């Protein structure tokens, strides 16, 4: 008993005398809770976290290759045309009958904000990490800001006003940050991030070698140009002229960074050739996939293939593949080789319809399981060139706009714009230069997840409703065009988010 008493006294003395012992003995910590502060000690820790931001983009719930549900299927290009899925949630997207409770929509929202969170974690901790190479610190900062801007650009176009978070939040800060910020403020943050990337980073002009799939100054300029173009056409008309001028500046900057001469020097098929994905000079920014790798391969070639077909992949299909609306098929000009490369009519009795063939990998490395090597292209030069045509058209310089438009048409092997306009078939479908540019974007960039955003940019909400109403129901299969109304300009705020605070997370009109 005496020894026990002495031990207790000594322990008490240590607790009183030593502050370190006092903290150690009296303050409990959760061994399962690892603070992020402890994870960032070296530049390599930051690199791994930046790589994690890139990795999050790959998901179909994010902006990866299988994220078509939120974009292409929302447009007039593709959609589920299968009676077995008419009652399911995916069908709500191209049927324009989406509900705030749609779980697919919520998954998209959560994934996009997951990417934002990853970027914010990097940006909130990078200053505390010692860097001997300051350029490396600036590079990682720029990559995180570019990716945050990219994702917020998707969020603001799909939902309008959205919560804006630019730092890592503690559990006690989440509630205060849960409110929808006005679009103009969100766009302001996107512009600030991308401007900083362009002006204050050592990024290379173009992705090359081991940097393929990473941020470059060409990508940042192209994205910022598109942001300004979108702001000019969808926000306050008072800022339109200034936004158009800035859009032209940044898109031109991106264009001038190209490493090739004429676009026509790059065959259209090279853009999607798996063997040339690391060397094709048209590609500006892409999500890199590994051929034959079960975890990091592309599944788009095999999954898009229809039953009885072998053009995309060695993987056998038992379904209809990725369905294409007849509305898009009918828009291709006669003899446009992009149609023959991009879509095909499947003759199997259960299909008898068009499916997407634009993304192919029939290699033995991809094999019969369809572990393809297709990279998912997010930005390429034909897109930049057509945006330059668009911005010059808005600025009243039709001659320059047509020059850019014809760069893409020349590469495709179709007639120049002026020649095409002299034919009744073309001029009847596309009576204005604006509609001709929209058409060219549709057939050039088909299935690359641009179409829905293009429609938002080219038309006001009322004009977009009128545009859809001119289309034939027969060209859309089971999806009901009559469902399309002004509410479909934006997605509904997911119900679980709205109910957190109906006042601050107010619902979009029509839902």
Structure tokens given for 372: 């393809």
Q: Is residue 159 part of a domain?
A: yes
| Domain encompassing residue 326 | 289-374
- Rounded to whole angstroms, the Cα distance separating 266 from 262 reads 8
Q: Is residue 190 part of a domain?
A: yes
Same domain assignment for residues 52 and 105: yes
Q: Are 180 and 162 in contact (CB under 8 A)?
A: yes
What's the structural domain count of the chain? 3
Structure letter (DSSP) for residue 376: E
Per-residue pLDDT tens digits of the chain, which is 511 residues long:
444 433 433 333 333 334 444 444 444 544 444 467 778 999 999 999 999 999 999 999 999 999 999 999 999 999 876 655 556 899 999 999 999 999 999 999 999 999 999 999 999 999 999 999 999 999 999 999 999 999 999 999 999 999 999 999 988 899 999 999 999 999 999 999 999 999 999 999 999 999 999 999 999 999 999 999 999 999 999 999 999 999 999 999 999 999 999 999 999 999 999 999 999 999 999 999 999 999 999 999 999 999 999 999 999 999 999 999 999 999 999 999 999 999 999 999 999 999 999 999 999 999 999 999 999 999 999 999 999 999 999 999 999 999 999 999 999 999 999 999 999 999 999 999 999 999 999 999 999 999 999 999 999 999 999 999 999 999 998 899 999 999 999 999 999 999 999 999 999 999 9
Same domain assignment for residues 84 and 157: yes
Q: Is residue 80 part of a domain?
A: yes
Q: Which residues contact 215 (CB under 8 A, 6 or more apart)?
A: 142, 143, 146, 147, 197, 203, 285
Same domain assignment for residues 87 and 154: yes
From residue 454, give the alpha-carbon distance in Å to each of 95, 102, 139, 199, 295.
19, 24, 31, 28, 32
**Which among 374, 392, 413 is the end of a domain?**
374
Nearest-CA neighbor of 379 among 236, 194, 200, 242?
A: 194
Same domain assignment for residues 90 and 173: yes
Q: Is residue 223 part of a domain?
A: no
**Which among 374, 401, 427 is the end of a domain?**
374
Same domain assignment for residues 47 and 8: no
How many CB atoms lie under 10 A from the CB of residue 455? 21
Query: Is the entire prediction scored with pTM above 0.85?
Result: yes
**Cα torsion at 194, 158, 51, 30 (round to 10°)?**
110
Same domain assignment for residues 295 and 146: no
- Rounded to whole angstroms, the Cα distance separating 114 from 62 reads 9
Q: Is residue 217 part of a domain?
A: no
Q: Is residue 432 part of a domain?
A: no
Q: Which residues contact 201 (CB under 8 A, 6 or more apart)?
A: 138, 139, 141, 142, 217
Same domain assignment for residues 76 and 197: yes
pLDDT of res. 382: 98
**Cα torsion at 319, 320, 322, 324 (round to 10°)?**
-170
What CATH number is given to the structural domain containing 186? Answer: 1.25.40.390
Same domain assignment for residues 96 and 186: yes
């Amino acid at each position: 008993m005496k020894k026990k008493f002495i031990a207790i006294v000594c322990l008490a003395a240590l607790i009183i005398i030593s502050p370190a012992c006092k903290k150690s003995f009296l303050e409990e910590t959760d061994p399962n809770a690892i603070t992020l502060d402890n994870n960032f000690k070296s530049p390599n820790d930051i690199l791994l976290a930046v790589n994690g931001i890139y990795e999050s983009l790959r998901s179909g719930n994010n902006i990866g290759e299988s994220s078509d549900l939120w974009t292409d299927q929302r447009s007039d290009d593709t959609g589920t045309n299968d009676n077995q899925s008419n009652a399911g949630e995916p069908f709500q997207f191209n049927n324009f009958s989406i509900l705030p409770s749609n779980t697919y929509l919520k998954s998209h929202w959560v994934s996009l904000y997951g990417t934002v969170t990853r970027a914010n974690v990097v940006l909130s901790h990078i200053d505390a990490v010692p860097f001997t190479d300051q350029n490396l610190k600036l590079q990682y900062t720029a990559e995180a800001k570019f990716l945050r801007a990219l994702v917020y650009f998707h969020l603001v176009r799909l939902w309008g006003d959205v919560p804006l978070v630019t730092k890592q939040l503690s559990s006690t800060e989440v509630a205060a940050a849960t409110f929808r910020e006005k679009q103009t403020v969100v766009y302001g943050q996107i512009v600030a991030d991308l401007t900083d990337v362009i002006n204050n980073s050592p990024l290379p002009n173009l992705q090359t070698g081991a940097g393929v799939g990473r941020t470059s100054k060409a990508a940042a300029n192209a994205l910022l140009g598109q942001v300004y173009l979108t702001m000019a056409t969808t926000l306050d008309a008072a800022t339109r002229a200034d936004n158009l001028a800035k859009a032209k500046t940044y898109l031109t900057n991106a264009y001038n960074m190209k490493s090739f001469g004429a676009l026509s020097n790059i065959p259209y098929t090279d853009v999607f050739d798996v063997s040339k994905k690391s060397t094709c000079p048209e590609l500006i920014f892409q999500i890199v996939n590994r051929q034959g790798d079960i975890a990091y391969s592309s599944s788009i070639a095999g999954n898009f293939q229809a039953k009885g077909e072998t053009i995309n992949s060695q993987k056998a299909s038992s379904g209809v593949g990725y369905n294409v609306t007849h509305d898009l098929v009918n828009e291709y000009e006669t003899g446009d080789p992009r149609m023959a490369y991009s879509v095909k009519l499947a003759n199997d009795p259960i299909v008898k319809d068009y499916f997407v063939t634009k993304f192919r990998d029939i290699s033995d490395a991809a094999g019969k399981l369809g572990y393809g090597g297709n990279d998912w292209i997010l930005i390429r030069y034909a897109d930049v060139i057509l945006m330059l045509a668009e911005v010059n058209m808005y600025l009243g310089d039709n001659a320059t706009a047509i020059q850019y438009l014809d760069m893409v048409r020349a590469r495709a092997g179709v007639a120049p714009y002026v020649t095409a306009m002299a034919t009744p078939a073309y001029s009847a479908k596309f009576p204005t230069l604006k509609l001709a540019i929209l058409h060219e974007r549709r057939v050039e960039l088909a299935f690359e997840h641009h179409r829905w955003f293009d429609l938002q940019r080219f038309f006001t909400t009322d004009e977009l409703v009128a545009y859809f109403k001119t289309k034939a129901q027969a060209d859309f299969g089971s999806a009901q065009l009559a469902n399309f109304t002004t509410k479909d300009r934006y997605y509904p705020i997911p119900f679980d988010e709205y109910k957190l605070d109906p006042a601050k997370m107010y619902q979009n009109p029509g839902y």
